[in-house]
Chain A
Amino acid sequence: MTTPIPHTGRRTTGGLFLPFLLTAAFLALACLGPDPAHAADPAGPAGAYQAASPHLYRHIKGVNPRVAVWLVAQLHLWFAAFVLAVPAFVLVMEAAGVLRKDERYDRLAFEFIRLSTTAYTLTAAFGAVLAAVLFAFYPGLIKYMSRIFSPTFAPYLLLFVVENACLYAYRFGWKTMRQGRAKLVHMGIGGLLNLTGIAIMVIANAWTTFMMSPGGVYQSGLFSGRLWEAINNPLWNPLNLHRFMANIAFGGSIVAAYAAYRFLGAGSDGERAHYDWMGYTANFIAVAALLPLPFAGYWLTAEIYAYSQQMGITLMGGIFGWLFIIQAVLIGALFLSANYYLWCGMERSDGGKRYTPYIKYIAFVIALCFLVWFTPHTPQMRPSEVRAIGGQYHPVLGPLGLMPAKNIAVNIMILFTFLSFLLHRRSNLEATVRWAAFGKAAQAAIFSAAVLNITFLGVYYGYFTNTVYKVASSVPQVVTTILAIAACTAIDAVLFRGAKRTGPVRWGKMPARSQYALVLLAVSFTWLMGLMGFVRSAIRQHWHVYGVVRDTSAHAFTPSITYATRVVSIGTVVFMALMVFIFYLNGRKRDEGLL
């Protein structure tokens, strides 16, 4: 296979002013925003003492403190997610390059890490701004949190310094440490980079989850002195897992968007081929990490319920229920664009044409599942209704029981996306093993059986049994999906061992429109992350630390969904603008020897 050699072709300019313009717009927004005050009733009941809370907030005229913190935190998080995720798959790719003795992986890995180095600076900058904004507007809360978590601050900073050093050694040592033992050292640095990154995230997650499900404190907020209980609070590990996986998916999608950007602006076939391949790989990473994400989501939700029924109901019922419909639409859009991209990719080889007739059926099934998922259910209930039937729920997984049909849809959607991958993978292959026909039949049988089983489980448990068992279907359904994917992949691996190639894969031979699917993927991921991040934070309602430290500011109220959406959209646009700016800078840099 030829190595595509990109070269610096035509460059776009003028992207410079855009990010700054938008950042200015965002600051302007942060300064406006509504400022309604909910006056407290001054007269108290008899026999009660009114403990006025100490001064906890600082006001700066014209600035909406909540929106400022919200946007800065979100931007910090987006960048942090990106710079945490990229080293993970860079290291895997570097190892793959060494094991397969394929230089291409090494180059691609290097190009990925180059992107994340630039983003790292912005991550740190937004982190610093976030700390400053929090100190400025919420000194009381910060003081409270510091009293508990101050022992974690020094390790956090130390890890940050080490991570920084690792990143720079990893990135700038890439060229010099390419051979023999040096390569191993280099990969060791990469490993350390990943470990420090994860450690940093895990510490920050402890602070965040403490605010949702505080541990180690008394009801009154008095700290017991047991730091580990505060760190290892009920939601800590579920969030660790969920965030890590989401970060990988998100990071992959952003890198794919970068590849799309370079593909579209490519000045030569070689360059186009290289970025096509990069886009394909990044998209693969994004989708592979997206598939198991719902399961991490289940765990997190279940733990939220287990911690506080009230918080769980806030999350799934009433007004926030709508956000899950919106999420469903977004995930549908993600699946559709990923599939669309794969279908376009079949044009890369002549053999792919064999499968074109099937695409319309896959498309139909996915669209159908999408519609099922989209059908509103929960949000039609009023919060009071949800509360009224709340008692009948399974104590832990309760709300999920409401969604048997949606569970069928999402599992089938995952399976059919996997099918797209399989077809794409085979597009230029022809199995040569003697039992090829049998193998394919076995795959088809497994696949059909899985679909039937998922449907049966969903329908039977969902509609013909007691409420308590409704939820019982989701676990075997997920197991079915996973087993089917694993079995089909295993068969496929053997089936196509030593397969005949029907023709070369012509990287770069992709229609431009396919690249916009990658852009859509990145935008959707970003926006979705922002929105669901809002939900995670907002279910604390009027508490800084749930049930312990009350938000007594004028901004303690929950905003409407439309308002939240607007804030998230502004954030997304700012983030994408800054990211595209990074793309632009990376595209302009002279490719350093390696490429």
Chain B
Amino acid sequence: MKVFYRYAAFAVMAVVFYTAFVELVAPDVTPSPPPPEEEFVDIGKMTVEEFIIIGERVFKGKGSCALCHKRVRGRAPWLGEIAVTAAKRMEDPRYRGKATNPHEYILESMLDPSAYVVPGYGKKGTADTVSPMPDASKPPVGLSRFEMEAVAAYLETISGRGATVDLERIKKEFLSNGR
């Protein structure tokens, strides 16, 4: 028993000694805090890839789209292939919108969700004529045109179709109205 305590005490003493050594010798300087987050994307120099990343961030963050649109047990259709399914949606006789390509279809879905309601997902009692999805451009989400374009580019990318982005137009619009 004595051995055990002597042994343990010696080990602890060694640790205490080292700790004390550091406390005495090393300067207790607190390293400078991390630089402010470089989350500002310079639009003038933005690349398509950066634009898509913004889209992903908005989709998962500010837009809160990922809350409903999940692959598993989502309350809304999965959007992993939306650029492909969009073509079928637009041919559907129930379609009431004006989109002519997947990019426009996605944008329209955000602004006017009821232009087409995926069967089985409509508001209860409306026979799939009214979408439960909120207008993404209105509060509380309040996405800007720029952000919606980015989300659309992101969704097109993950559908494997490649994004159709007119980067120059988007940049010009953003720089003229700031959003």
Residues of A in contact with B (beta carbons under 8 Å apart): 12-15, 18, 38, 40-41, 44-55, 218, 220-222, 260-261, 264-265, 318-319, 322, 325-326, 329-330, 516, 519-520, 522-524, 527, 541-542, 550-552, 556-562, 565-566, 569, 572-573, 576-577, 580, 584
Given A47-B175, A48-B40, A49-B43, is A569 in contact with B7 using a C-beta cutoff of 8 Å?
no
A-B contact pairs, 21 of them (CB 8 A): A15-B8, A18-B8, A40-B39, A41-B36, A48-B41, A52-B62, A53-B61, A220-B53, A222-B52, A264-B7, A265-B4, A322-B27, A329-B21, A330-B18, A520-B14, A558-B31, A560-B31, A565-B18, A573-B11, A573-B12, A580-B11
Residues of A contacting B26 in the complex (Cβ-Cβ under 8 angstroms): 322, 326, 561-562, 565
Residues of B contacting A569 in the complex (Cβ-Cβ under 8 angstroms): 15-16, 18-19
Q: Does B119 have its Cβ within 8 Å of any Cβ on chain A?
A: no
Minimum C-beta distance from B9 to chain A (A): 10
Would you call A53 and B57 a contact (CB within 8 A)? yes
Residues of B contacting A561 in the complex (Cβ-Cβ under 8 angstroms): 22, 26-29
Residues of B contacting A573 in the complex (Cβ-Cβ under 8 angstroms): 11-12, 15
Minimum CB distance partner of A566 in chain B = B19
Would you call A51 and B15 a contact (CB within 8 A)? no
Q: Does B54 have its Cβ within 8 Å of any Cβ on chain A?
A: yes
Would you call B4 and A15 a contact (CB within 8 A)? yes
Minimum C-beta distance from B23 to chain A (A): 6
Minimum C-beta distance from B162 to chain A (A): 14
Residues of B in contact with A (beta carbons under 8 Å apart): 1, 3-4, 6-8, 10-12, 14-16, 18-19, 21-23, 25-31, 33-44, 46, 49-50, 52-54, 57-58, 60-62, 146, 174-175, 178
Pick the contact of B1: A13, A52, A220 (CB < 8 A). A13
Q: How far is the CA of A569 from the CA of B12 in the complex (A)?
A: 9
Q: How far is the CA of A261 from the CA of B34 in the complex (A)?
A: 46
Would you call B37 and A580 a contact (CB within 8 A)? no
Q: How far is the CA of A44 from the CA of B36 in the complex (A)?
A: 11
Q: How far is the CA of A280 from the CA of B11 in the complex (A)?
A: 19
Would you call A560 and B14 a contact (CB within 8 A)? no
Minimum C-beta distance from B173 to chain A (A): 12
Residues of A contacting B34 in the complex (Cβ-Cβ under 8 angstroms): 38, 541-542, 551, 556-557
Give 8 new A-B contacts, CB below 8 A, not counting A12-B3, A51-B57, A569-B15: A14-B4, A45-B40, A261-B3, A330-B18, A527-B18, A557-B33, A560-B30, A562-B22
Pick the contact of A220: B36, B50, B58 (CB < 8 A). B50
Pick the contact of A552: B11, B16, B37, B42 (CB < 8 A). B37
Q: How far is the CA of A51 from the CA of B54 in the complex (A)?
A: 6
Would you call B15 and A49 a contact (CB within 8 A)? no
Residues of A contacting B33 in the complex (Cβ-Cβ under 8 angstroms): 38, 557
**Nearest 6 Cβ contacts at the A-B interface:** A542-B34, A54-B61, A48-B40, A12-B4, A558-B31, A54-B60
Q: How far is the CA of A577 from the CA of B5 in the complex (A)?
A: 12
Minimum C-beta distance from B48 to chain A (A): 11
Residues of B contacting A560 in the complex (Cβ-Cβ under 8 angstroms): 28-31
Residues of A contacting B36 in the complex (Cβ-Cβ under 8 angstroms): 40-41
